[in-house]
Structure 1
């Protein structure tokens, strides 16, 4: 009987080189433990990254890895999954790598519904290149490139994914392994493109940016962990989100003796893009941060459809060595 895998089985002998206190350490540990828990096979697991602090990830995973070109990791991941559908492909990107130069590629891997897990580490800053504002930086963010404060309207990663017709969209926090691990497991089980936005603390250039909802001492008041078929309650059940049928917007209400009955609180339906849209566009001020699996509505994945209609039906009918020796090469006359 094989010995059960542990998180250490997915770690490499490489020195992990992120800034001390970086949120990437916590994500790395959570991913390693999650893969061990689900008994993933390192020989059939692949991590693909682009450029940025998060893109060091493949070096630290005992699996196959590709550290690719800035913003183009989705293209590599698509090719890998189509060439070998048996692979468990994970794509690691950041808010700069994935939503700036890589926005076009990220859009297409999501709309095609390629069966990969996309982890977007969002720290709202360019960390590797010394703190410039990124596509997700909030208005007013002061950085070396915007000393007077950014005036850019930021990208909302989950709203972007929904607009790209992603079929699985979730959110987690780097240091909250208790709630992030189930999201990673659900993403891996999903057959199609699973997009996970992970709020990640950049200890050097954007320290504690997410403390307004990520701080553990106030988490009960500032976080909404959604579950399919359950009312959207937070603050230990004392508050909830109710749909205002006149404005078609969500509003925070007190629940219980001094407020509305729990039956008036909106029940989460993870198959509803309308509910997902409402949750992704909640204002920062006065509202909790929705976390967990927010949208999950499966359909046939791109790689499944590709091989279904392919003449070989996914069977190996040739060898790479034969193709290389075929002779159809250019020679100088």
Structure 2
């Protein structure tokens, strides 16, 4: 790790194709700032992403990266981290990718408590496929495929994480740049599975959960007397359906990470025999 790494060192030369104003720009910028602030560098960072608007984030960041398949980013990230525990592994996805087809992997990744960071860009809609309701969409959210709304309550990812035994649960807002970066940094520094649900508005297909909505409704737990180590207090906030919260909602610093409890300390990753010289440099250049 380097102490003089800069935020810009994590920027690739690929230009994002997200819609102008997309919340994913702010989400990614906060991730890069947090990585730099924790002393990581691109050569020590591996970003895994799935499918959706968030899926190409590894292309836009300068690091090792893998753009996987729908809902399967977490098992890939787990494998990378356990093969080389010296890497800083960050998994990125969207609400559809993570809380629909990938929800089973999410729950078990929480249970294992592998020391990596999971960032979910929650825009409460399927953006890449042009505006269908997602698992976190409101019950009455009208789309072209659900003109009367999904007619089912939204998934509460924070509650899923808490019930599965999460040791770090946080929520942030991509437009609150400094606070978002601080929260992601805390997730990286947490010794275990750091989960951050990020409100990342879709300006093209979601005219309900907008920047203005989150600015007006968010309550930062840093401005309250919330005790992040208190499970019952965290449960009360997480189950409060009338408010939107940001900050670290729960943290259990006493729990051992998977690596600690299973004695995973050594890098067991190997480049296969026959791989051409400079192959890993080519992989990094591609991403």
Q: TM-score, normalised by structure 1?
A: 0.77
Residue 189, structure 1, aligned to residue 177, structure 2: no
**CA contact under 8 A between 2:53 and 2:128: conserved in structure 1?**
yes
1:268 aligns with 2:226: yes
Determine the structure 2 residue equivalent to 1:283.
Answer: 241
CA distance in structure 2 between the partners assigned to 1:318 and 1:297 by the alignment: 34
Give the structure 2 partner of residue 302 of structure 1: 258
The Cα shift of 1:157 comes to: 1.2
Query: Structure 1 116/174 Cα, relative in aligned 2: closer, same or farther at 3 Å?
Result: same
Q: Kindly tell me: are residues 317 and 180 of structure 1, through their superposed partners in 2, closer, same or farther at Cα, counting changes over 3 Å? A: closer
Q: TM-score under structure 2 normalisation?
A: 0.88
Distance 1:293 1:318 in 2: 36
Measured in 2, the distance between the counterparts of 1:185 and 1:173 equals 14
SS at match of 1:292: strand
| Structure 2 residues not aligned, in runs of 5+ | 275-287
If asked which structure has higher relative contact order (CA below 8 Å, sep 6+), I would say 2
In the alignment, which residue of structure 1 is the partner of 2:285? none
Contact 2:170 2:249 in 1 (8 A): yes
Taking structure 1 as reference, are residues 61 and 212 closer, same or farther at Cα in structure 2, changes over 3 Å only?
closer
| Correspondences of 1:196-211 after superposition (within 5 Å) | 196-211=196-211
Q: Once the 2 structures are TM-superposed, how far is the Cα of residue 210 of structure 1 from its aligned partner?
A: 4.2
**Which whole-Å CA distance do the structure 2 matches of 1:67 and 1:102 have between them?**
15
**Retained in 2: the 8 A contact 1:199–1:210?**
no
Flag the 1:30–1:144 CA change in 2: closer, same or farther, 3 A: same
How big is the shift at 1:316? Answer: 5.2
SS across alignment from 1:277: helix
What residue is the counterpart of 2:31 in the other structure? Answer: 31
Partner in structure 2 of residue 11 of structure 1: 11
Moved more, 86-95 or 27-36: 27-36
Whole-Å separation in 2 of the counterparts to 1:107 and 1:3: 34
Q: What does residue 114 of structure 2 align with?
A: 114
Q: Give yes or no for contact 1:59–1:65 (8 Å, CA) kept in 2.
A: yes
Question: 1:225 offset after TM fit, Å?
Answer: 1.6
Query: Alpha-carbon deviation of 1:131?
Result: 0.7
- Written as runs of structure 1 = structure 2, the 5 A alignment for 1:312-327 is 314=266, 320-321=272-273
Q: CA deviation at 1:214?
A: 1.7
Gap change, CA 1:305 and 1:202, over 3 Å in 2: same
| Larger helix percent | 2
Structure 2 counterpart of 1:223: 218
C-alpha contact (below 8 Å) 2:84/2:269 kept by paired residues = no
Per-residue deviation, 1:283: 2.7
Larger radius of gyration: 1
**Deviation at residue 213 of structure 1 after TM alignment:** 4.6
- Alpha-carbon distance in structure 1 between the residues aligned to 2:168 and 2:270: 35
Between the aligned partners of 2:266 and 2:17, the Cα distance in structure 1 is 39
How far off is 1:304 after superposition?
2.7
Offset at residue 279 of structure 1 (A): 0.2
Q: Confirm or deny: 8 A CA contact 2:85 2:267 kept in the other structure.
A: no
Question: Are residues 69 and 281 of structure 1, via their aligned partners in 2, closer, same or farther at CA, if it must alter by over 3 Å?
Answer: same
Partners of 1:52 and 1:97 within 8 A in 2: yes
Distance of 1:11 and 1:319 partners within structure 2: 26
Aligned residues: 272
RMSD: 2.1
